[in-house]
Amino acid sequence: MDMAERIQHLRKTKGLSQEELADTMNVSRQAVSKWESGQSTPDLEKIIMLSEFFEVTTDYILKGIETVKDKDQQTKEILSKILYISSTAFVAIGLYSAFSGWYAEQMLEDVWGSMIIQAVGIAGYFIGKTLSKEKAPFYVDWLNLMGISFMPISMLIGYLSLLALNQGQIAPYPIGTAHTLLFGLVLFAVGVISFIFIKNRNKLSVR
């Protein structure tokens, strides 16, 4: 692996686009592209900035010489990744449990129990954040937010739909035409706003 490949590897490992890395290094995206294609090499100041930003030595960037990483910290980073992915799995399991329970019994107790499952997943997510500096992938943040908001939005819209149009139910998923349409609009808006918010937050955190 040459220096160009190492810079690209470090960028991708941190989940950044070329444009995001360029903003952090105060260079153009084309400059980063040339570094990663081997058409040019960063000057000494940028190499130091890269080493500090990616938390590696300048020797690693220049020569590929790696230092032995603290095993405890490495274990914590791996555990953080597992907890992040597990949190999304728990959120999805909570949704499935609520949907299947409601379909069979139509009891709100099933919904509350499913929300507890989701809460366990989110607790694991925040434990992962405290264990190490390893950031959660964008898709984990976004899917968790959408999964957690799904049932409350459906239940709130169902309640409003009942009051205004006498259609729908206070259920974990939309029931009836009016409930479904209103729910779809609100969930779409939440999805777009949360997508933009998380993207902007991640950009700010790498500067």
Q: What is the pTM of this model?
A: 0.65
192 shares a domain with 102: yes
85 shares a domain with 59: no
121 shares a domain with 44: no
Domain ranges, residue 104: 71-205
| pLDDT tops 70 at residue 207 | no
| pLDDT tops 70 at residue 204 | no
Residues 67-87, buried b or exposed e (16+ Cβ, 10 A)? eeeeeeeeebbeebbebbbbb
Read off the amino acid at residue 185.
L
> For residue 142, which of 187, 189, 96, 194 has the smallest C-alpha distance?
194
- Which of 12, 31, 63 lies at the terminal end of a domain, its last residue? 63
Q: What is the pLDDT of residues 149-172, one digit of tens each?
A: 999 999 999 888 888 877 767 889
How wide is the angle at C-alpha 185 spanned by C-alphas 179 and 189, nearest 5°? 140
201 shares a domain with 113: yes
Q: What is the pLDDT of residues 176-190, one digit of tens each?
A: 888 889 999 999 999
59 shares a domain with 83: no
125 shares a domain with 101: yes
26 shares a domain with 103: no
Domain containing residue 10: CATH number: 1.10.260.40
131 shares a domain with 194: yes
Read off the amino acid at residue 156.
L
Q: What is the pLDDT of residues 114-162, one digit of tens each?
A: 999 999 999 999 999 898 777 888 899 999 999 999 999 999 998 888 8
Q: Measured between alpha carbons, how far is residue 81 from residues 35, 70, 120, 132, 137 in Å?
A: 29, 17, 16, 10, 9
Total domains present in the chain: 2
| pLDDT tops 90 at residue 102 | no
CA 29, chain centre distance (Å): 24
115 shares a domain with 93: yes
133 shares a domain with 51: no
177 shares a domain with 144: yes
106 shares a domain with 49: no
